[in-house]
A = this chain, B = another copy of it.
């Protein structure tokens, strides 16, 4: 029984969903947004937002402690309450916009029940729309044979909201989430073990990045294990968790955080009822632009596959709206999506790694400079920072990788030269403000041109 008809139903209130809803409503579409849990989704509630809130504090503590040389204790409950207030404020901001734009927000679980744009709610009610947008997101992936228990074996869903923070933690998985939390938790005084199965941290990124970040984290007291699996986790007699690693190491911690990957939320949503195909990894398969195999149904955000990044999801969501409005839409190209990691010594990276270029058979010149000559970097004590560009024989940038304080902001200053919008020669004469890390754009451009002011090169 169809109770209501919309122009568009958006399933999922995260960053892959709400932007489409708002954009369509701005253009007069009648829109419903169905979210089964919390508006803002994983990013707002369990990811980017709480982690960056806690990062602000962790980074301030680390910054102070490394100069004044004594520890600074902070109360976890004060931090947690503050993080909660940031998250709820962000969520309320989204709710406010949705309401102001007249979008029907439905807090329920949606299931596709036909190929004709019908969605069923848990109470049996059915809604219909000309178009449906699936922004279903992903769930944290558990360790094989060891599920999340919500109290000791944790995912990003629980770590920010623990009633009491542990004094020691094992983080299984040295990707972006693992590395960020290793830095954050270690900076607020927690004993951190970081365990990565592959041969380096951040294994999907350019190898120089993982190496630099490992040295940095080790210098901060994080115990890093690579090429290593957690083979067992057992409750010890004193209530701790005894971790055994594949290299034979054994240690006891209070909590385990698992950050080994994500699983698309494509099960139990009725995709099969609507002829929406998924690929071998469970992500929704896209055809023309962001259209699924059912041409009236679109998908955006994490559920269409990697890179799993909020900045990708937001733009995709907007592009879906444009597509529904009949505007021409090109798929966002992965090599034009910057990735950042808030790891104290931060990471900003866009395009291909050396490994990827070699695998593709693309020939490239490599330019890599340390950043220790920059006053801003010297001030922020970042011995391991660098910027590295991979430039093809066509003089096009194929990869740009920055490890530096503020790299999360600075990558955006590098975007125009990476995208070819500002030439290297132009960049060498732009007075980027002193004393910033963005000045590296000029210094790096000078270096590529062979005339760096702040480096000694033998002619």
Residues of chain A at the chain B interface (Cβ within 8 Å): 15, 19, 22-23, 26, 43-44, 48-49, 52-53, 56-57, 59-61, 63-64, 67-69, 72, 74-75, 78-79, 82, 86, 89-90, 93, 96-97, 100-101, 309-312, 314-315, 318-319, 332, 336-340, 348, 373, 375-376, 378-380, 406, 408-413, 415-416, 419, 421-422, 429-439, 441, 451, 453-457, 459
Q: Which of B23, B49, B57, B319 contacts A435 (CB 8 A)?
A: B49
Given contacts A56-B67, A68-B74, 18 further A-B contacts (CB under 8 A): A26-B459, A43-B434, A48-B375, A52-B376, A52-B379, A64-B72, A67-B79, A67-B82, A89-B378, A97-B454, A97-B456, A314-B453, A337-B431, A338-B433, A406-B406, A409-B410, A411-B433, A421-B421
Inter-subunit contact B72/A63 (CB<8 Å): no
Minimum Cβ distance to chain B for residue A314 (Å): 7
> Do A409 and B434 form a contact, CB below 8 Å, given A97-B456, A375-B52, A378-B89?
no
Minimum Cβ distance to chain B for residue A69 (Å): 7
Inter-subunit contact B430/A409 (CB<8 Å): no
Output the nearest chain B residue to A73 by Cβ-Cβ distance: B68
Inter-subunit contact A340/B63 (CB<8 Å): no
Contacts of A336 in B (CB 8 A): 430-431
Inter-subunit contact A338/B53 (CB<8 Å): no
Inter-subunit contact B64/A74 (CB<8 Å): yes
Inter-subunit contact B68/A431 (CB<8 Å): no
Output the nearest chain B residue to A26 by Cβ-Cβ distance: B451
> Do A315 and B379 form a contact, CB below 8 Å, given A72-B64, A340-B436?
no
* 29 A–B pairs (Cβ distance < 8 Å), ordered by A: A22-B453, A23-B453, A48-B435, A49-B375, A49-B435, A52-B375, A52-B379, A57-B68, A67-B79, A67-B82, A68-B78, A72-B72, A86-B378, A97-B456, A309-B431, A310-B435, A311-B433, A311-B434, A312-B431, A314-B431, A314-B434, A318-B453, A319-B429, A339-B433, A340-B433, A412-B433, A416-B422, A419-B422, A421-B421
Contacts of A75 in B (CB 8 A): 68
> Do A434 and B48 form a contact, CB below 8 Å, given A56-B379, A64-B61, A456-B96?
yes
Minimum Cβ distance to chain B for residue A322 (Å): 9
> Do A430 and B453 form a contact, CB below 8 Å, given A60-B60, A67-B57, A90-B378?
no
Inter-subunit contact B456/A438 (CB<8 Å): no
Output the nearest chain B residue to A81 by Cβ-Cβ distance: B67
Minimum Cβ distance to chain B for residue A376 (Å): 7
Bound CA–CA A48/B374 (angstroms): 12
Contacts of A434 in B (CB 8 A): 15, 43, 48, 309-311, 314
Q: Which of B57, B79, B314 contacts A63 (CB 8 A)?
A: B57
Instruction: State the number of copies, please.
Output: 2
Inter-subunit contact B15/A380 (CB<8 Å): no
Minimum Cβ distance to chain B for residue A72 (Å): 7
Contacts of A408 in B (CB 8 A): 433, 436
Output the nearest chain B residue to A69 by Cβ-Cβ distance: B78
Output the nearest chain B residue to A311 by Cβ-Cβ distance: B431
Contacts of A380 in B (CB 8 A): 56
Output the nearest chain B residue to A413 by Cβ-Cβ distance: B412
Output the nearest chain B residue to A78 by Cβ-Cβ distance: B68
Bound CA–CA A90/B378 (angstroms): 8
Inter-subunit contact B413/A409 (CB<8 Å): yes
Inter-subunit contact A86/B433 (CB<8 Å): no
Inter-subunit contact B375/A90 (CB<8 Å): yes
Contacts of A101 in B (CB 8 A): 456
Bound CA–CA A437/B315 (angstroms): 17
Bound CA–CA A41/B100 (angstroms): 55
Q: Which of B78, B89, B312, B421 contacts A67 (CB 8 A)?
A: B78
Q: Which of B64, B79, B409, B451 contacts A406 (CB 8 A)?
A: B409
Output the nearest chain B residue to A329 by Cβ-Cβ distance: B429
Minimum Cβ distance to chain B for residue A323 (Å): 13
Inter-subunit contact B379/A53 (CB<8 Å): yes
Contacts of A411 in B (CB 8 A): 433
Contacts of A453 in B (CB 8 A): 19, 22-23, 97, 314, 318
Q: Which of B64, B100, B455 contacts A57 (CB 8 A)?
A: B64
Bound CA–CA A318/B12 (angstroms): 53
Minimum Cβ distance to chain B for residue A351 (Å): 13
